[in-house]
Copies of this chain bind each other. A is one copy, B any other.
Amino acid sequence: MIERYSRSPMRELWTEEAKYERWFQVEMTVVDALERLGEIPPVAAKEIRKEAKLNPERIAEIEEKIGHDLLSFVRQLEESVGPSGRYIHKGLTSYDVVDTALSMAMRDALNIIATELKTLSSTVKKRALEHKNTLMIGRTHGMQAEPITFGLMLLIWHAELERDLERIESAREVISVGKISGSVGTYANVDPKIEEAVCKKLGLKAASVSNQILQRDRHAQVLTTLAIVAGTLEKMAINIRHLHRSEVSEVREGKTHGSSSMPHKQNPSTSETIAGLVRIVRVNSLAALENMPVWNEQDLSRSSVERIIIPDSFLALHYMIVKMNEVIENLHVNVERMRENVELSRGAVYSQAILLTLIDKGMPRAEAHDTIRANSVESEKSRKHLKELLAQEKKIKPYLNAEELEELFDVKYHLKNLEKIFKRFSKST
């Protein structure tokens, strides 16, 4: 567990204690079901319910000796109960408990992720609406392209976060499954009814078929889903960092971190941290995919990997979402600078509109393209505005008068369909 990048309530879900609690819950639910099926004497079941107590220190002691965590847990439970304790874990294999409990944890973790992701998506949408008309230059390949609004950029993120929520929901469904089918999945020593009853009680579905474990395609789907969500945050973080650069200065993180040596610095540290942590979540998803080809009915190689990657990915992603929500919520948007940057190119960013109009008016495409490009180059050299240059360009005069030219250098031309785009999101969330 990465303490530095852990936040409540995700942190509490992945402690050793929480794991034991879940195992305890599974075992106790099994005891109840076994009793109802007549497999445990009511007296014994009652005693178990009354006396069974978790004792993590004692579990650790036993594990020191026998090197098997679930088995140590069961023995400690038995000890706490006395003779009736022998009915605990009856007919079960370790992974009936371990895998069912892991599904519970992953389901709960996905619920936490979903909650925070909804908050983030709402925050992004709120700020998108706030900046629906905040003029900004769109950039492709790092180069100024054509005007957009900052709200449009945010709306794209919001739409992606909504897709991520659907992915989380699918992942939650696929992992909300338990199995209590014994050592190799044959229910040799445990009735299928136990599985059904226990899973239902724990809010899970019973796997339609299993061997010693749940199949790892489920876990792989969860972890690749986390990696996709992390990718969305990475995109947001990297683009905030771009807009944050000194030469762009269009946004600033609310809580920038200074420098020890350079008092003037205000760094987008949170976005940088988020852009880094995605690498953890992403490569962990690869390890989850590698965990799929279990040998025969079970092998242990995926176990060590899952102990590390599942908590780490959930913790890191949770941290990233919470932090990104803070970033977006508190993001200083420099509306004035955004407007200035649109004008930085001295009109070059309006070139497409002019090109298309010239073509429409009958100028051959190649000639139109070359004329505009030549004037763009000249504008950059001379630092004169493109509009000014084009107004004096003989080749263009036959097609465009001054007024028409003026209109083509108006951002309204570019933003005329903005309302239509935003309307598509008027009902959602």
Contact = CB atoms under 8 A, between A and B. Distances in A.
Contacts of A413: 188
A208 B155 CA distance: 10
A160 interface: yes
Interface stretch (A20-28, A292-300, A395-403): A292-300
B282 A301 contact: no
Contacts of A74: 260
Contact of A163 (B78, B217, B286): B217
B145 A265 contact: yes
Interface stretch (A42-50, A305-313, A325-333): A305-313
Interface in A119-158: 137-148, 152-153, 155-156
A292 B141 contact: no
Contact of A352 (B262, B284, B353, B416): B262
A260 to B, nearest CB: 4
A268 B298 CA distance: 12
A351 B372 CA distance: 43
Interface stretch (A7-15, A51-59, A85-93, A102-110): A85-93
B285 A279 contact: no
Interface in A233-264: 234-235, 237-239, 241-242, 244-248, 257-264
A415 interface: yes
Nearest to A221: B228
The main secondary structure of chain A at its interface with chain B is helix
Residue among A74, A147, A351 having the largest count of chain B Cβ atoms under 10 Å = A351
Contacts of A309: 280
A246 B139 contact: yes
Contacts of A145: 183-184, 212, 259, 262, 265, 297-298
Given A174-B163, A260-B94, A280 B298 contact: no
B308 A264 contact: no
Interface in A378-429: 386, 413-418, 420-421, 424-425
Contacts of A298: 140-141, 145
Contacts of A259: 93-94, 140, 145, 183
A1 B17 CA distance: 18
Interface in A155-202: 155-156, 159-160, 163-164, 167, 170, 174, 182-189, 191-192
A273 B290 contact: no
B146 A183 contact: yes
A234 B92 contact: no
A242 B372 CA distance: 26
A373 interface: yes
A113 interface: no
Interface string A71-107: 1001000100000001001111110000000000000
Contacts of A351: 262-264
A186 B373 contact: no
Contacts of A267: 140-143, 300
Given A188-B413, A287-B280, A138 B265 contact: no
10 contacts: A5-B308, A71-B260, A141-B272, A142-B267, A146-B182, A163-B218, A188-B352, A237-B293, A263-B355, A264-B351
Given A138-B186, A141-B265, 18 more contacts: A2-B307, A68-B258, A90-B356, A93-B260, A142-B244, A142-B268, A146-B262, A147-B186, A186-B417, A189-B356, A217-B232, A224-B285, A263-B355, A273-B300, A273-B304, A276-B302, A280-B304, A286-B286
